[in-house]
Structure 1
């Protein structure tokens, strides 16, 4: 699938995914278009390629009534304000802990700039959303889309404000980043551990939540859908644990966090460089390493065992 194109999710009804050409990497950014009786957009992209999303919605004849970013990180919620402006009758949802960042994105932008470094060039300043347009979520809700419903599950491991959605009709889970990043070219799920609130045990608990739902399909926020297999979440839990341990050991060896970050960037996996491009792969390693180092500091400060 080429950037700006959309395709149906296999085995699902009136559900499409769109490649937003995030970070200039083909298929890295996935936005889901659910053409229900009350149509929904699930995740919104960064916002810099919003014309792709607008064109796809026009082509499908969709007027969204729901705008559903899974969490406030700007690669998932950056386009929400632009969508809300274009569709003034739509309701935007967000976990209650992050509503303020949609209303006033100032601190969110500052934190994102610090987290993504030179990748900020791919972002745009998000549009604020009036608070009365936003429905806060806490987990446990069911969103009414007319001919179907979405169950909301709080999944705070990757970020405290993350939720995932389960469409029981098609038995699909929209995973946000709770299931990691699936790379279809490699048929592997890779870790995502960004600062500042990555939590290993929380991420593993979120993987258990998805395992317990036991859906037919996972709709990842990056690289599109995947058929669910029983072993997927167990493998992802191991991937996370091994990644955190690798960073912990390298910190013990080098004794300097900048050197640890540089090490993992320099040794970014060759297969992800091939798929994502060298720049994105190395920047991803930097960000994920910073997230683990912050997590290790938090655990040490609070006397907790990793």
Structure 2
């Protein structure tokens, strides 16, 4: 897929995936549109390329008064940055996000400051988020349901990536919207990469989250980065290995260099992600992931 395009998710009726073109990179950021009885948008992108998403929703046939749900999986702005913009365009849609993310979408100032600190020069690819009106947002807890009329999404907390992170499960269709809980799926190489952003990445909890997804016995995994894939148990085992090996690599390099800045620079310069992403994105991803592991290790936790 290319930026701004959308297509049906094979094997799942009424579900579409939209490529946001996030960070000027094809096949990096996904938004899912469920054309159910009560239609939903799952995740929103950064908000920067929202007009293309509006066009996708229009082409699918969902009117501005018909969208029922805007459902970010967590408050990170690459997943929820467009929530306020969508709320303004779709007046009957309810915004729903895991409970710990509600305050960040109602008053995004602290989230914006934290995101700018984390993504640094990549902030140029974001848009200033619009606050979501408090009366239009609902917090979600474990086992809550998002009612799509002819189906429902079951909420499962997955806080290894961030405390306000959840996955959504459609048990009838066998779909799990994994967001960032199972890593980043790269279609070009049919493989999973880790995502370990600062400041709250937790390796042990992340591994439990992946095991939880496996226990749901899905038929399809819909990754926030990027796209849907038929479920294969080996893919989640690969994700576990990617996380463990990455944390160990950062830990070992810190022992060798004894300088966190040098560790980050090392992984920026040696990233192999240039094989499938543009060099700017690959370098930024390596920096973010290295700094997240260093924060994890600096809390006194061990791999």
Q: For 1:127-206, what aligned pairs fall within 5 Å after superposition?
A: 127-206=130-209
C-alpha distance in structure 2 between counterparts of 1:305 and 1:225, whole Å: 32
- 1:57 paired residue number: 57
Cα pair 1:44 1:76 within 8 Å, conserved: yes
C-alpha distance in structure 1 between counterparts of 2:60 and 2:100, whole Å: 33
Deviations 1:131-173 (A, max 9, x none): 1111101111111110111111000000000011011121100
Deviations 1:185-223 (A, max 9, x none): 111100000001000001000000111001010000012
SS of structure 1 residue aligned to 2:67: coil
Deviation of 1:103 after TM superposition, in Å, equals 0.6
Cα pair 1:214 1:230 within 8 Å, conserved: no
2:237 corresponds, among 234, 237, 255, to 234
**Would you identify which runs of 4 or more consecutive aligned residues in structure 1 move more than 6 Å?**
none
What TM-score comes out, normalization by structure 1 length? 0.97
- Kindly report the root-mean-square deviation, in angstroms, between the aligned alpha carbons of the 2 structures: 0.8
C-alpha distance in structure 2 between counterparts of 1:275 and 1:238, whole Å: 20
- 1:29 paired residue number: 29
C-alpha distance in structure 1 between counterparts of 2:161 and 2:155, whole Å: 16
Deviation of 1:305 after TM superposition, in Å, equals 3.9
Deviation of 1:235 after TM superposition, in Å, equals 1.7
- 1:46 paired residue number: 46
Aligned residues: 300
Deviation of 1:95 after TM superposition, in Å, equals 1.2
